[in-house]
Structure 1
Amino acid sequence: MDQFQGTWKLTASENFDEYMKAIGVSFASRQIANLAKPTLLFSMDDQGLISMKTTTTFKTVEIKFRLDEEFVEITADDRQAKTVMGLVDGKLIQTQTWEGKSTTIEREVQGGKLIAKCIMDDVVCTRTYEKDQ
């Protein structure tokens, strides 16, 4: 988890609107989300509880979790999902399930950038973050 810790700023986003459509985000919420340039803050406490805080000018969402333990997540678009975060081959894999649907977000650090790949059925979105010095 060490490679993820710190603050990351969104620098590029591809196919995000299509991904949001695929997971069922409303038109109005997609318009706001497409304008947002989120900052991600990863941290871990002494007991191994991991925090991922996503901040935009519109909203701040924080989830706290332990690897491989399911928890209830209220997403930025207000879905209530059962979520599991796992570390596989250096990738932080987030799986959300809700109302019979499932989506996966794979995050990995490559070349000093955090790449988030969001996958819903055959729709793939890629979001790139750079470390905030």
Structure 2
Amino acid sequence: MVDKFVGTWKMTTSDNFDEYMKAIGVGFATRQVGNRTKPNLVVCVDEQGLICMKSQSTFKTTEIKFKLNEPFEETTADDRKTTTVMTIENGKLVQKQTWDGKESTIEREVSDGKLIAKCKMGDVVAVRTYVKEA
């Protein structure tokens, strides 16, 4: 079910990410760094069956480990403390983050050998595209 997401993915494009970061409340300086950063996304399944997702860049590396459908506490790259739930919906890996009465969703799907991440906050949508390296 998550097998198609497993691997190392290199970001190739990022569209409207500055607007998404504004919508979730990221400050100007952090947005400037975030806009220039092209992180790798590493997805794996560990020996206990936990799904691991690591975002690696020269700016910051973040990692989450989770079981599908089970809420967990996440500290995001911009230091938000969220309650996050990961699910599989229609073949997409969906990450719902809630904090301070707000909700953001990141939908990841694999299509034509690319991983497409749609980051949504209200009516703002950013699209980040990755290609598989390994």
Question: Does 2:28 correspond to 1:49?
Answer: no
The count of residues paired between Structure 1 and Structure 2 equals 133
Structure 1 CA distance for aligned equivalents of residues 60 and 120 of structure 2: 23
> Is the partner of 2:54 in helix, strand or coil?
strand
Q: Please tell me the root mean square deviation across aligned C-alpha atoms, in Å.
A: 0.6
Give the CA deviation at 1:52.
Answer: 0.2
The normalised TM-score by structure 1 is 0.98
Structure 2 CA distance for aligned equivalents of residues 68 and 47 of structure 1: 16
Question: What amino acid is aligned across from residue 29 of structure 1 in structure 2?
Answer: T
Identity score, percent: 63
Question: What amino acid is aligned across from residue 24 of structure 1 in structure 2?
Answer: G
For residues 48-79 of structure 1, give each alpha carbon's deviation from its aligned partner in whole angstroms, at most 9, with x where no partner exists: 10100000001100000000000000000000
Match of 2:115 in 1: 114
Structure 2 gaps, min length 5? none
Displacement over 3 Å in runs of 4+: none
Match of 2:73 in 1: 72
Structure 2 CA distance for aligned equivalents of residues 47 and 87 of structure 1: 19
Match of 1:129 in 2: 130
Match of 1:58 in 2: 59
Match of 1:30 in 2: 31
